[in-house]
Structure 1
Amino acid sequence: MKKKLSLYIGLIIISINTANGNLFSIYSYVRQRININTISPEETNICYALQKKIEDYIDNFNSKISVNILNKNGEFIVDINGKIPRIPASNQKILSSAFSLDNLGPNYILKTSLNEMSNGGLYLDASGDPDFDKRHLDELLRGLNSKEFNTVIKLPILISSSNKNTWWPPSWSYSDRKEEYGAPITKYSIASNASTNALNNPIDNFINELKTSLVRNNLSSKYFIKPVYNDSIDFVSTIKSVNSAPLYILLNLVNSESHNYTAEVVFRHSLNNWSHDFPNVKYTKWLNDQNFDSDDFIFADASGLSRENRVTTYGLSQFLRRMQLSRYADYYFSSFSILGVRGSLKNVKAPINLKGRILAKSGRLSNVRSISGIILGKDKIFSIIVNNKENSTKNIINILSIVDNTNYCT
């Protein structure tokens, strides 16, 4: 009887999960964990002819560069300064975007909603959607004209304000914070906080745009805006919502276009935490679970704009190999740039034989260049980072050309 009861309960659970579309998700996650935990450790099998060619090429800046090449068997055929921690620039997104994808799933959306409270007032709940703009404000407010309202008393529209200290990771330089690529990271944003007004004060900019939208929609006599310092506001119903593109589309912004704001926003959704506290326990645990050498990694942000980040090319190469085992591997790698074709590598000068064959994430800061990814057709994973040398993208491309033209190292 007990066995039958257990069987029935099991069938009910399977039925519920199947109906919710969760069964395959659970299975694929378990399979991913098993594959990553049991992956064969990387061996060192240096192709000395290839390594010598690269060492000769980088002879006058050897101390400033790290190079690792993994073949399809999981063997390091090139390892030059691979375990020296380097500033990764946007190669930091290789890690943070994988974390976001694994935790949220490819179809996760950022939602901005206008909600009605029990007193008749409204609460506008935002999510940092990078594409949310003035048109979407109008879309949220447009339906309010049909609502009954008291012509004597204006009703509030609440927004959850935030302290200026939480707008940027603390290690971002003040000069970067004045630029579009260093825009403040806030839930309430218009067009990724890229305007001059938003760079100075994103909350005031959002409020001003909301006021303007109220005027455009003939609602300024009915509602006023009230900022509150409260992230938990009760409401009785949602009047209108605006959804972002799904996460797998946003990841193209993060990785192919190297958009810092989007990288930081989706990372905060992954944590369900909008503070800038690093190191983060959840993120650190997830990285440890990926079963690669990250002991010398330092995490100061999700986007790589901070110069306090540190990674190794040895560890990044290992990580990319593990991401090939992810249940979301296709979504992940399809978000990378392609040399000469799309994204941040589209306009990089390269030999014709490499164009369209380097699927990678690039990064750049002053005196920092990084490119890590896959050489298509060669089944080779690579990670190359240069610190303390300006205009070194061409050096990285030349190294990739050396690897591609060396056929006796498999």
Structure 2
Amino acid sequence: MFSSPLSTSSRQLRKILPFIWFFSFLLPTPTSFLQPTSFLHSGVGFTQSINADRELKKSMVKIAKDLKLSESDVSFSILVPGLGRIEHAADIPRIPASAMKLVVASAAMDELGPDFMMHTDLVLDGIVQDGVLEGNLLIIGRGDPAVSGRENTDDLLWELRPWVTFLNAQGVKRISGKILADARYFEGDGFHSDWPRESSHRWYYARSGALNLNDNCLDVYVGPVSSGQVLVDVKPTQPLARFVNRMKICKDRKKHLIRIERPGPSWEITLTGAFLESAEKRKFHVAVPDPASHFVGAFSEMLAEAGIVVLGEDLPISELSPGVESPKVNQRISHTLISRMPVMMKNSQNLYAESFFRILGKELGGDGSFESSGRVLANWARKNFQESESLVFRDGSGLSRLNRLDARFLRSVVDWVLLQSWAESLFECMAFSGVDGTLEKRMATDLLKGKVCAKTGTLNDVSSLVGWLKPTGVNQPITFAFVFNGRKGQVAKARQWQDRCLDLLAKRRSGNESQ
């Protein structure tokens, strides 16, 4: 945080941020988002400010009503330089959906730092003699969600190949023991109790763990039709998985429907439905029931392909404390926190959010379970923001319908981030209107394209948008949080409401309201 003559503690920021904005022309700026300017130069007097506040609030509520959204279902909190706060139901806790990811990212950047390293280690627990590893091969995980897959979609196991090369260089032909996963870094199940169990096979509900590979999913390829059968393939190769193919072939495009199920803890994946005879191959992502076993199974296949035989004898294991770094690390995969942020923030990847949420909980004194991580995040919120006692942090992705955040808190998080030295790094990881991520197809007009940086959130009856708007010709960003909790089927209208409100703000601030 940059130095300030106001001597403001972060605990007080939520209450006095409007005054910080007012005096910001006195302060040096840490990022390009906060350019030195005086509100005294804005041409808006005190009386005008109050009137503008009321008129903008009425206009935004009217936009919601015109879209058939109930006034009681929407909340917003907006901080406009020179005007102050514009709010409606801003202190009502609501389901935030994936806007929760912005809170997790902010806390992780604050407490762990952008350069926090996540390691996944390979340890030879024994000596190599005459081509035999006399012991076990240990894989030690510490929650990194991003081992393999994202940077090389043609080779989902590319980051593990140096491990195989290393074993070959050591002359290992056989392993007398087993390939063992040390996944003790986290306590508790990686599938939250608030999530629907019947959806545990869906990629967006993928379990998090100390060891994660390919987003903890199998890439299942269905089709095309060959020799009277619907072909099925899977990557990475997983010896634990068993496929039951009950797909039928159809010629009617309207009957083309593919269903994929993997019940509970089972590795059996069943495909039913009808596949169009002329259709091309399609790819699906199926979440695995056990991330650690998934990692070990895929790596075992790699060793088999390299001609390395695992004998599987029951041999003693070196004593290692959970989460404590082994002195015998032979190979390591490492990623920084900030390098993994774009996938979580631009693409809203749930597994990454849960991993960072649990890492935060573990590193700040908890056990890495959902429960302890929720307490850690709540403590962080109370430390930095007033009036946050009623907020509820159940998971890191926002999938839980028991999460409760209010619009004022969410907007205050954006204001707080703007004051941090790493603000620009985090905002670069977020989606920009009309450009990329979850905002690629939203607000793509000349007025708004590239001018909104935000985190979206969506559930069946929830839509949230939290971030900042910086119209052309405006020095300081407008920070905002919009949250809708209403009826199913209204999410599209809620997004229109958010976009139209930001369009209105941009026109007002750039003096182009007649556009």
Q: TM-score, normalised by structure 1?
A: 0.82
Q: 1:62 aligns with which of 68, 71, 81?
A: 71
> Is this contact kept in 1: 2:179–2:300, CA < 8 A?
no
Structure 2 residue matching 1:178: 3-state secondary structure: coil
TM-superposition CA deviations, 1:305-332 (whole Å, max 9, x none): 1111111111111221111112221222
> Is this contact kept in 2: 1:371–1:384, CA < 8 A?
yes
Structure 2 residue matching 1:406: 3-state secondary structure: helix
Q: 1:83 aligns with which of 91, 100, 118?
A: 91
> Is this contact kept in 2: 1:177–1:183, CA < 8 A?
yes
Partner of 1:214: 303
Q: 1:249 aligns with which of 335, 339, 342?
A: 339
Q: 1:183 to 1:164 in 2, by over 3 A?
A: farther
Q: 1:117 to 1:302 in 2, by over 3 A?
A: same
Question: In 1, Cα distance between the equivalents of 2:508 and 2:326?
Answer: 64
Structure 1 residue matching 2:497: 3-state secondary structure: helix
Offset of 1:383 from its aligned partner? 0.6
In the alignment, structure 2 segments of 5+ residues that lack a partner are 19-48, 128-134, 149-156, 219-284
Question: In 1, Cα distance between the equivalents of 2:503 and 2:314?
Answer: 58
Q: 1:71 aligns with which of 63, 66, 80?
A: 80
* 1:173 and 2:196 aligned: yes
Question: In 2, Cα distance between the equivalents of 1:200 and 1:32?
Answer: 52
Residue type of the alignment partner of 1:231: P
* 1:376 and 2:464 aligned: no
> Is this contact kept in 2: 1:116–1:122, CA < 8 A?
yes
Structure 1 residue matching 2:403: 3-state secondary structure: coil
Residue type of the alignment partner of 1:51: K
TM-superposition CA deviations, 1:44-70 (whole Å, max 9, x none): 956112122122222342111111111
Offset of 1:197 from its aligned partner? 6.1
Q: 1:149 to 1:334 in 2, by over 3 A?
A: closer
Q: 1:300 to 1:387 in 2, by over 3 A?
A: same
Question: In 2, Cα distance between the equivalents of 1:32 and 1:199?
Answer: 52
Partner of 1:405: 507
Structure 1 residue matching 2:503: 3-state secondary structure: helix
Question: In 2, Cα distance between the equivalents of 1:323 and 1:234?
Answer: 32
Offset of 1:271 from its aligned partner? 2.2
Question: In 2, Cα distance between the equivalents of 1:161 and 1:90?
Answer: 27
Deviates more, 1:309-318 or 1:190-199: 190-199
Identical aligned residues as a percent? 21
Summarize the alignment of residues 275-294 of structure 1 with structure 2, pairs less than 5 Å apart. Answer: 275-277=369-371, 280-294=374-388
Question: In 2, Cα distance between the equivalents of 1:123 and 1:32?
Answer: 53
Summarize the alignment of residues 10-409 of structure 1 with structure 2, pairs less than 5 Å apart. Answer: 34=8, 36-37=10-11, 39=13, 41-42=16-17, 45=50, 47-59=53-65, 60=68, 61-72=70-81, 75-76=84-85, 78-117=86-125, 120-133=135-148, 134-147=157-170, 154-161=176-183, 166-195=189-218, 198-221=287-310, 231=322, 235-244=326-335, 246-272=336-362, 273-277=367-371, 280-348=374-442, 350-377=444-471, 378=474, 379-389=477-487, 390=490, 391=492, 392-407=494-509
Structure 2 residue matching 1:49: 3-state secondary structure: helix
Residue type of the alignment partner of 2:350: N
- Kindly report the root-mean-square deviation, in angstroms, between the aligned alpha carbons of the 2 structures: 3.3
More strand by share: 2
Corresponding pairs, count: 380
Rg larger for: 2
Question: In 2, Cα distance between the equivalents of 1:299 and 1:177?
Answer: 21
In the alignment, structure 1 segments of 5+ residues that lack a partner are 1-26
Q: 1:257 to 1:289 in 2, by over 3 A?
A: same
Residue type of the alignment partner of 1:121: N
Deviates more, 1:374-383 or 1:202-211: 202-211
Question: In 2, Cα distance between the equivalents of 1:42 and 1:131?
Answer: 36
TM-superposition CA deviations, 1:344-383 (whole Å, max 9, x none): 1012254331111111111111111110111113421111
Offset of 1:222 from its aligned partner? 6.1
Question: In 1, Cα distance between the equivalents of 2:324 and 2:418?
Answer: 41
More helix by share: 1
Structure 2 residue matching 1:95: 3-state secondary structure: helix
Residue type of the alignment partner of 1:41: I
> Is this contact kept in 2: 1:361–1:371, CA < 8 A?
yes
> Is this contact kept in 2: 1:373–1:383, CA < 8 A?
yes
Q: 1:233 to 1:49 in 2, by over 3 A?
A: closer
> Is this contact kept in 2: 1:115–1:236, CA < 8 A?
no
> Is this contact kept in 2: 1:29–1:327, CA < 8 A?
no
Offset of 1:199 from its aligned partner? 2.4
TM-superposition CA deviations, 1:136-173 (whole Å, max 9, x none): 2232232113336696x713332125799612122122
Residue type of the alignment partner of 1:104: L
> Is this contact kept in 2: 1:32–1:326, CA < 8 A?
no
> Is this contact kept in 1: 2:118–2:142, CA < 8 A?
yes
Q: 1:83 to 1:117 in 2, by over 3 A?
A: same
Question: In 2, Cα distance between the equivalents of 1:113 and 1:351?
Answer: 47
Question: In 2, Cα distance between the equivalents of 1:405 and 1:79?
Answer: 19
Residue type of the alignment partner of 1:142: T
> Is this contact kept in 1: 2:188–2:370, CA < 8 A?
no
Partner of 2:263: none
Deviates more, 1:212-221 or 1:193-202: 193-202
Question: In 2, Cα distance between the equivalents of 1:83 and 1:234?
Answer: 44
Structure 2 residue matching 1:294: 3-state secondary structure: coil
Deviates more, 1:128-137 or 1:42-51: 42-51
Residue type of the alignment partner of 1:107: D
Question: In 1, Cα distance between the equivalents of 2:173 and 2:482?
Answer: 64
> Is this contact kept in 2: 1:313–1:383, CA < 8 A?
yes
TM-superposition CA deviations, 1:243-301 (whole Å, max 9, x none): 22x22121111211111111111222222233111574332221112134323311110
Residue type of the alignment partner of 1:257: N
> Is this contact kept in 1: 2:11–2:382, CA < 8 A?
no
Question: In 2, Cα distance between the equivalents of 1:29 and 1:167?
Answer: 41
